[in-house]
Structure 1
């Protein structure tokens, strides 16, 4: 079996509902089998529900599942086994308060499972980084790697993805934890994932900060940073990362 997985920072409710037609068009065009998001809001959650009618998502009353992240999956391919949200030290202030390591374990029709997870690491503008010169993404990367090592069963396919807000320490530490990013796995130099221009209104240097990682009996077959526009506006200020995975037998 092969699955198409998309990760996407939805930019909260900035320039919403102006971006709604673009998000709808993206989902209709790309139609991922698994869709993990960051900076979710109730309005964008409702749009995704309406555009992915054959999908299920995690149902949970914890605020983070409606105001930061959630995960959708094709109900014809998978059923939920369990889910959770782990504190890995991201909720350092009011802006980041709902951020966790969000995860769901899914089973296919034969009962084989896959662990899908997402997180949104701290933006470089937090107080501890600006005033104390401490990079919080180092500890968050180590905590994410340790949590996934504990959550994932031996050999079980594990996916981790999201807006990690940098491309140096997160790669170094998550690779050390046994995870491979889709770009490196395929020998691809990643293009920038932020910002989308001209939807992002200010001139700024481009960053590679959105990633997909995998471990276990699964391999990346293709990966792509999607430059998608509907008219003259993108669905978000971030570009989605879309990866096709194949499952290894054994």
Structure 2
């Protein structure tokens, strides 16, 4: 018997900024790597329609809540998984439709389930943070942990992936709750995920877009084991899929 392995990726899609230039690069990424599960943030309906076309062996959450079409969504391969339930939970993100988006998937032909969740935490340049000097991502991380404790079932493999806009405190809080990021779990230095070069250096007068940062993460609980993890620099010509690089990991569950 072979162990069950799944690939999971997360990518901030940058809404529709420079969209006409990035379409081919995004298509190349999803075609070349074709993750079993894909979590996306900064989604827009136009980009969602595009992904529906270039991911023919995947499906996603279809729901009337605008957050599923204009913030985040989760794609999965239908030959491997079927949807059991899903939801969107309030965790204090400073944007109206940003939530903790989650789904429970059943592995076809088994009784096993996996829990997948994604979110886009508030960015560092938000006016409240600049005014107060306090990071809202600490509260958002703690609320995420509370929701994971509420939603994840017993020994179920659980994953949280997304743009956390941070490199330290959310990872510490998640680690203390039993969720380790895929790089540290493999003793790999965490690569930068923002900005992509040269695509992400736009507008060119934005100081932050010249500061390398690891903003995007995949974390998992003890009921899965990472095999590999990377930040693939996938170009089409000279263009990247987004201003963020994707994060991709393979887990044994």
Alignment of 1:63-78 (within 5 A): 63-78=66-81
SS of equivalent to 1:231 = coil
Extract unaligned runs of 5+ from structure 1.
none
Cα-to-partner distance string for 1:135-169 (whole Å, 9 max, x where unaligned): 10000000001110111011100000100001110
Q: Normalized against structure 1, the TM-score is what?
A: 0.95
Aligned residue runs from structure 1 range 1-250, under 5 A: 1-90=4-93, 92=94, 96-109=95-108, 110-201=110-201, 202=204, 204-247=210-253
- The Cα shift of 1:44 comes to 1.2
Q: Secondary structure at the match of 1:19?
A: helix
Per-residue CA deviation, residues 222-241 of structure 1 (Å, 9 max, x unaligned), is 00011111001101000000
Q: Is the Cα contact below 8 Å between 2:28 and 2:234 reproduced in 1?
A: no
Counterpart contact for 1:19–1:236, Cα < 8 Å: yes
Q: Tell me the alpha carbon deviations over residues 25-61 of structure 1, each in whole angstroms, 9 at most, x when there is no partner.
A: 1111111100000001111111111111111101111
SS in 1 for 2:210: coil
User: Could you tell me how far 1:127 is from its partner in structure 2?
Assistant: 2.1
Aligned length: 243
What is the TM-score with the length of structure 2 in the denominator?
Answer: 0.94
Kept in 2, the 8 Å contact 1:11–1:39? The answer is yes
CA RMSD of aligned residues (A): 0.9
Answer whether contact 2:84 2:106 (CA < 8 A) is retained. yes
Gaps of 5+ in 2: none
Cα offset for 1:114?
0.5
Q: Please tell me whether the aligned partners of residues 152 and 158 of structure 1 are also in contact (alpha carbons under 8 angstroms).
A: yes
For the 8 Å contact 1:37–1:69, the answer to whether it is kept is yes
Residue 216 of structure 1: CA displacement? Answer: 3.8
Deviation at 1:192, TM superposition (A): 0.3
Report Cα offsets for 1:180-203 as digits up to 9, x if no partner: 110111000011000001102335
CA distance, structure 1, for counterparts of residue 89 and residue 141 of structure 2? 13
Query: For the Cα contact (< 8 Å) 1:41–1:68, is it kept in 2?
Result: yes
